[in-house]
Amino acid sequence: MTRYEPECVDGTLFLVGDDRIEVGTIDDIVAAIGGDTYTIEYDEKQRTQSWLDTDDGALEVDVRETVTTLYHTEEMVSELRDYDMDTDRYGLPTRTVEFSNRFVDILEQQGI
């Protein structure tokens, strides 16, 4: 299974594995996700896990940092290829929006 690593060139994010796929500008991704930070919440039971260093169960994720560090699976990249970089009606490329949706899914599922 090839893993795809993020690479940022002049403010544009690419995922690089066996080949290279453009995802969109970091600014567009941040806009699609809805801000520079994204908050994940953990319930009482989840907070029993020792690595979760949170007082109130909320974990703030720095979107700019995380989109440029998180690896992705070949499966996700192959699905992103079904979307192109044409701009959709909201002014963002469809692939950028799709990537952002999936990125939020990863954060919301808190790891799954």
Partner 1 sequence: MSIDSSSGDRTVSGGVVDDPILEISDTSVTYNDGETYVLDNVDVSIDRREVLGIVGESGSGKSMFASALLDAVPDPGVLTGEISYHREDGSTVDVLELSDEELRQFRWEEVSMVFQGAMSSFNPTMKIGTHFAETLKTHDKNVSEGLDFARGLLENLYLEPDRVLDSYPHELSGGMQQRALIALSMVLNPEVLVMDEPTAALDLLMQRSILQLLDSLQAEYDLTIVFITHDLPLVASLADRMAIIYAFQFAEIGPRDEIIGDSAHPYTRALLNATPNLDAPLGEMQPIEGEGPAPVNVPSGCRFHPRCPLATEKCRTVDPPLTVLEGFDSEHRAACHHWKEAREEISLNFGETKEWFEAGEPAEGPDQLPSGQGADAKGSPLLSLDDVEVHFTKEQGLIERFSSDPDAVRAVDGVSLDIQEQDLVCLLGESGCGKTTLGKTMIGLQRPTGGSIEYRGRDVWDADASDSDISDEAIRSALQIIHQDPGSALNPNRRIVDILSEPLRHTHPNISTNERRSRIYSLLERVGITPPDDFMDRYPHQLSGGEKQRVVLARALLMNPDAILADEAISAVDVSLRIEIMDLMLELQSEFDTSFLFISHDLSNARYFAEHGNGRIAVMYLGEIVEIGSPERLIHDPRHPYTEVLRWATPNLEIDAMEAEDPPIREIDVPDPVDPPSGCRFHTRCPVAREACRKEHPDLRELADADGKAACFREDPTHDYWDSEPLEGAERQPY
Looking up tokens 């699905």 gives 79
Number of residues written out for the chain = 112
Shortest Cβ 92–partner 1 spacing (Å): 23
Looking at the Cβ atoms of 8 and 59, the one nearer to partner 1 is 59
- Rounded Cα–Cα distance for residues 13 and 102 (Å): 15
Nearest distance from C-beta of residue 80 to partner 1, angstroms: 9
Scan for tokens 């020792």, then name that residue.
50
Nearer Cβ to partner 1 (71/84) = 71
CB 103 within 8 A of CB 40: no
**Number of neighbouring beta carbons within 10 Å of residue 10:** 5
Give the number of other Cβ atoms within 10 Å of residue 77's Cβ: 21
Shortest reach from residue 89's CB to partner 1, in Å? 26
Q: For partner 1, which is the closer residue by CB, 18 or 89?
A: 18
Side chain identity, residue 78: S
Whichever of 51 and 90 has its CB closer to partner 1, that residue is: 51
- Which residues of the chain form contacts with partner 1 (CB under 8 A)? 3, 17-19, 40, 42-53, 59, 61, 66, 69-74, 78-79, 81, 106-107, 109-112
Q: How far is the CB of 58 from partner 1 (least distance, A)?
A: 12
